[in-house]
Amino acid sequence: MKKLLKYMKSYTLESVLGPLFKLLEASFELFVPLVMAAIIDTGIAQGDRGYVLRMCGVLVALAVIGLVCSITAQYFAARASVGFATKIRSACFAHIQSLSFAQQDKLGVSTLITRMTSDINQVQSGVNLALRLLLRSPFVVFGAMVMAFTIDVKAALVFVVTIPLLSIVVFGLMLWSIPMYKKVQKRLDGVLSLTRESLTGVRVVRAFCQEKDIERDFVEKNDALTTLQKLVGKVTGLMNPVTYAIINLGIVALIWVGALRVDAGILTQGQVVALYNYMSQILVELVKLASLIISITKAMACASRVSAVMEVQPDMRGGDKAPDSNGREAVRFENVTLNYSGSGAPELHGVSFAALRGQTIGVIGGTGAGKSTLVGLIPRFYDATEGRVLVDGVDVREYSLGELRKRVGVVPQKAVLFKGTIRENMKWGDPDANDEQIWQALEAAQARDVVESKEDGLDAPIAQGGRNLSGGQRQRLTIARALVKRPEILILDDSASALDYATDLKLRQALRKLPDSPTVFIVSQRTSSISHADQIIVLDEGGVAGMGTHEQLLEGCPVYQEIYYSQYEKKEAK
């Protein structure tokens, strides 16, 4: 929590004024029992109605002032807590964006979502309550005890015994519950992960009739979460009855001592009522404090989880060089090996090749051969474990990440479009692109007809994830988005899998005619999609099984031959 407090600096004034007005409210509240004692001992005892009315006016004034102070405190506390949570959420989101893909994979998407939403909301709630009650409740408790001593020292000794007992109960439960709430949030991560996975893959689940299995897994995880929450709830639920029991025993002792003191003529009836009211105030405030402790405990557990994400230092930092486009070689791999975190065998090993500027490079191989991993090293989504990846003759680790990725256009394996309009999605490639540039990119990506078929054209809405488009339409629009960028290196990671052969052919022909002549990497399962490439890299279990043109590989690469002949009928050898 301490590491997150730096985000409260902008709300220092609110953080001071909120508790201050709460203390003012509490101060006026402490005078109420004394006024009541005066009404009983003076007004009622002497039958002075005027005095009683005047004191009632004082009580109303104290109530009004207390209400104004309370509302003011609520305003400042809400302003500070909401602003604090907003800054943390923004900082956390920005920090997650700075983490490498490997780090995000290790942390887990579901966990990151939980910490960005549920955990930060808990922190916000805890800060709000802390600003309003963390000082007020102890102030009233000890203030009431001090006021009791001003009335009668012997009777006030009951307070001296009662308050430490209550403190032991409250803080003991707090120390037990902090680690338990961390476990609750961890199990919540598991439930969220399963929920996200099942909803994302709902079509697959239904296609394989796995609804019952998913429901069973969800019930198991949900029941485990519920069981732990019930345990924590039962133990923390003891706080209120135990505090009530201790306070009521204190009240019994106070009334007994007070009765004896009144009978001896040491105390008046009004003073005993005042002592009782102070004990009641303590009871109310300790109940509030108990609830506050539970909320703060949750907030601290959640804050530590958010801090854990913020403490993860990005393991991928860019250099200060800008790519130079004057070299003959666009990309070179030198004996590159890559191990994913926690994996056994390397995903890639000993990969070496060179791609000249303006060439088309095909990448093919079986499932899991490392095709996407290979092209992902060029924009530096991952760093090579061994060897080097060079762009324009310079190691990609020496480039500024922003400058490097500006020159690389990537069309991922899964076509992803964002909620908005077609124009807004196209401008992800270049925010300054005009409509003419967008239409040119759409034309090259064979997506012009998709946009022209929409009533609003470029302003046609795109649903989240592009759900209102077919798979082929999404792929063509994502290709167009990359082309708007006018990249020097274009990576098509199996991005034409949903296209028919005729559209795929037109797309490849259009890419060869691009005016900027980018170096194109085409990852595909189809040999037809890469047969025209200047160079084809055949991967098998992370290594290079062959390299050359289509004709060369058909003659001397068994892996390529197997892929090719599995897609086309094998002709008789001539």
Residue 183 has pLDDT above 90, yes or no: no
Q: What is the mean pLDDT of the chain?
A: 85
Helices 136-151 and 120-133 sit at what angle, rounded to 10 degrees? 20
* pLDDT tier for residue 313 given thresholds of 50, 70 and 90: confident
Distance CA 197, CA 203 (A): 11
pLDDT band at 547 (very low <50, low <70, confident <90, very high): very high
Share of the chain above pLDDT 70, in %: 97
Taking residues 40-67, report their average pLDDT: 86
Per-residue pLDDT band for 79 (boundaries 50, 70, 90) equals very high
Name the token pair of 551. Answer: 């004709």
Q: Is the pLDDT reported for residue 570 higher than 60? A: no
pLDDT of 490 reads 92
CATH 1.20.1560.10 segments of the chain: 2-310
Q: What does the pLDDT look like over 95-150, one tens digit per residue?
A: 988 888 878 877 877 788 888 888 899 899 989 988 988 888 888 888 888 888 88
Confidence of residue 369 (pLDDT cuts 50, 70, 90): confident
Q: Is residue 172 predicted with pLDDT exceeding 90?
A: no
90: three-class secondary structure by DSSP: helix
Class of domain 413-486: alpha beta
- Summarised one tens digit per residue, pLDDT across range 487-541 is 899 999 888 777 888 888 888 888 888 888 889 999 988 888 888 899 999 998 8
CATH 2.120.10.30 applies to domain 2-310: no
- Residues 21/76, Cβ–Cβ less than 8 Å: yes
**Per-residue model confidence as pLDDT tens digits over 321-355:** 766 666 678 899 999 998 876 666 788 889 999 99
What is the pairing mode between strands 420-421 and 461-462? antiparallel
Tokens at residue 490, please?
């274009």
Closest alpha carbon to 460 in 421, 429, 432, 424: 421
Residues of the chain with CATH 3.40.50.300: 316-407+489-496+518-566, 413-486
Q: Which of 288, 333, 383, 395 lies closest to 544, judged by CA? A: 333
Buried b (16+ CB within 10 A) or exposed e, 27-56: bbbbebbbbbbbbbbebeeeeeeeebeebe
pLDDT at 573: 39
145-159, 173-187, 480-494, range with greatest mean pLDDT: 480-494
Report d(CA 457, CA 463) in Å as an integer.
15
Angle of helix 120-133 versus helix 12-30 axis, rounded to 10 = 40
C-alpha distances in angstroms, 533 versus 475, 521, 529? 21, 9, 9
> b/e string for 154-180 if b means 16 or more Cβ within 10 A?
ebbebbeebbeebeebbeebbeebeeb
Per-residue model confidence (pLDDT) at position 574: 36
Which amino acid type is present at position 244? Y
Burial of 482 (0-12, 13-18, 19+ CB in 10 A): buried
Task: Render pLDDT for 215-268 as a digit per residue (tens, 0 to 9).
Answer: 888 898 899 889 988 888 888 777 778 877 887 888 888 888 888 888 888 888
Output the six-digit token pair for 385.
């474990």
Would the pLDDT of 211 be above 80? Answer: yes
Q: How confident is the model at residue 572 (pLDDT cuts 50, 70, 90)?
A: very low
pLDDT for the residue numbered 1? 64
pLDDT of residue 76: 94
Return the pLDDT at 323. 61
pLDDT at position 344 is: 66
pLDDT over 90 percentage in the chain: 20
The pLDDT of residue 537 is 93
Yes or no: is domain 316-407+489-496+518-566 CATH 3.20.20.70? no
Between 193-197, 403-407, 441-445, the lowest mean confidence (pLDDT) is in 193-197
Query: Exposure of 64 by Cβ count < 10 A (0-12 exposed, 13-18 middle, 19+ buried)?
Result: exposed
Encode burial over 275-314: b for 16+ CB neighbours within 10 A, e otherwise. Answer: bbbbbebbbebbbbbbbbbbbbbbbbbbbbbbbebeebee
Which residues have a Cβ under 8 Å from the Cβ of 378 and sit 6 or more positions away? 331, 389, 391, 396, 408, 489, 491, 521
Over residues 275-296, the pLDDT tens digits come to 888 888 877 787 777 778 778 8
Query: E strands of 450-518, at which residues?
Result: 461-462, 489-493
